[in-house]
Structure 1
């Protein structure tokens, strides 16, 4: 329906009178009456009960008015976003991220966005836990958050999800680097570099080891995915991460991802979060860059 008739119906319902609505909108009452009659003919049902000095909504009119007001609100929000987009060359946008993504998908997307919008300030904030990141999106501290395995929460919504397999990560000089796959039991002869209990990947590792009934004889523990990568690069130790975690290092020939036969079904969910309502224009545009990178 044309925006004009939506406005007419909304205002007549508010005023309870076609004449009063016409005065408020500075439109001829006959024009409003004609438009409403045309709409009623299209719908095959009256929208208003007409009395000599007033009108009231019919049952069909009440149903229609809910739709009209939702549409008008969405149109107003869209107009505001478009107006904001006109000023996209300046402003700032803030993204919360888990440390494992600081050297991979986030820098790549950031530079793509910056190339198109060089005067926009991008703030990247490392956060430790999913709960901290979800709260920051919900209260507007950040525009977006990207990380693994976010639990469902009110006031935020998932803008994009990519499922990533969990597998073995080794240096490219490691004996396993050229393998098409390995068994978990083969890995126990090497030092494990594992994430500690503050990280979202730790439950996956614990489940892996519990299912195997075995464990490494030697391990190094850290709360930093970046440290895990660098320790593995420095020797013949092994760790378990997703391809997203090692994207840049794999492209540079420093790390290799090797599927583990025992972990064929073990995955992590990379999730982009945004606010449930009223996203910023810059946040919405940057989200599209992340969505493209996650596909």
Structure 2
């Protein structure tokens, strides 16, 4: 069995289309079909079922699919480690990240890091905190950078910084001139919050519950970017880490008001890697750089 056959099969699994897989691989559809047939001959069983609607996996195909992707990723990782032995400061790092941390922490960190290592390439996948951790554990990602990751995880946390949430309002909002605000005071204003699947929203609801409050936001959204836009348009106020709207605050478009001590809400930014997987030169350098960057940017207030 050849690695190429697994590569073609993995691409077919990803696209569910012989034609699309062939286009992505820059080969003829017959080449993909031939490699799949080679795999079926090797394993002695059908792996896919073809129909007018496309390609579906058999039970054996599903079994192979769950392992083929990881095998290929591990081979790429080994190739990177071999290049490291040759002293080649290049490679690719896959980062899974979630939440407001992407624009405010990861992007500037990558920009600065890239100037020192111009031959390293980055793949950034924006997803949920749980999926980011699962990606590290399954070798899909080298690094996970998350806000409010699951409490129980097999991933190794190499850096952890506390993040405080502030009330974010436009400069024209009545709250803009205050030094601090309580959750009870905040409840009197039109509020926009993330949906309840977000870790911050769960922390917010828990904090309100401890004070005997039930706060229903006027806007519940799944995109953090939309929270910012609602505030910029004077439709609502929200709660976000200052770092996620630093640019707008510096431009004077938004302002941040601290929550009073009894109403404070904090989560954590975590940098995680797989506990049993040697990082490549590129991934190790980036991990250390982001750890230092977090330490300098996310200082306790």
Whether the aligned pair in 1 keeps the contact of 2:205 and 2:215 (CA below 8 Å) is: no
Alpha-carbon displacement from aligned partner over 1:124-176 (angstroms, at most 9, x marks no partner) = 10112x22111100111111111112235454211111111222111233222
Question: Residues of 2 paired with 1:190 and 1:81: CA distance?
Answer: 58
* Helix, strand or coil at the partner of 1:294: helix
TM-score (norm 1): 0.66
* Helix, strand or coil at the partner of 2:234: coil
CA shift at 1:216, angstroms?
4.7
* Helix, strand or coil at the partner of 1:282: helix
Question: Residues of 1 paired with 2:86 and 2:158: CA distance?
Answer: 19
Structure 2 residues not aligned, in runs of 5+: 1-80, 296-301
Question: Residues of 1 paired with 2:138 and 2:215: CA distance?
Answer: 42
TM-score (norm 2): 0.64
Between Structure 1 and Structure 2, whose CA radius of gyration is higher?
Answer: 1
Equivalent residue, structure 1, for 2:249? 250
- With over 3 angstroms needed to count, the CA separation of the structure-2 counterparts of 1:109 and 1:84, relative to structure 1, is farther
| 1:1-295 equivalent positions in 2, closer than 5 A | 83-84=84-85, 86-88=87-89, 90-128=90-128, 130-153=129-152, 155-216=154-215, 219-261=218-260, 263=262, 265-277=264-276, 278-295=278-295
Question: Residues of 2 paired with 1:205 and 1:126: CA distance?
Answer: 23
Alpha-carbon displacement from aligned partner over 1:25-67 (angstroms, at most 9, x marks no partner) = xxxxxxxxxxxxxxxxxxxxxxxxxxxxxxxxxxxxxxxxxxx
CA shift at 1:286, angstroms?
0.8
CA shift at 1:256, angstroms?
2.1
Q: How many residues align?
A: 215
Whether the aligned pair in 2 keeps the contact of 1:164 and 1:244 (CA below 8 Å) is: no
Whether the aligned pair in 2 keeps the contact of 1:134 and 1:153 (CA below 8 Å) is: no
- With over 3 angstroms needed to count, the CA separation of the structure-2 counterparts of 1:232 and 1:84, relative to structure 1, is farther
- With over 3 angstroms needed to count, the CA separation of the structure-2 counterparts of 1:282 and 1:85, relative to structure 1, is farther
CA shift at 1:121, angstroms?
1.5
Whether the aligned pair in 2 keeps the contact of 1:156 and 1:276 (CA below 8 Å) is: yes
Whether the aligned pair in 2 keeps the contact of 1:104 and 1:244 (CA below 8 Å) is: yes
CA shift at 1:189, angstroms?
2.7
Question: Residues of 2 paired with 1:251 and 1:136: CA distance?
Answer: 35
Structure 1 residues not aligned, in runs of 5+: 1-79
User: Over the residues paired in the alignment, what is the CA RMSD in angstroms?
Assistant: 2.5
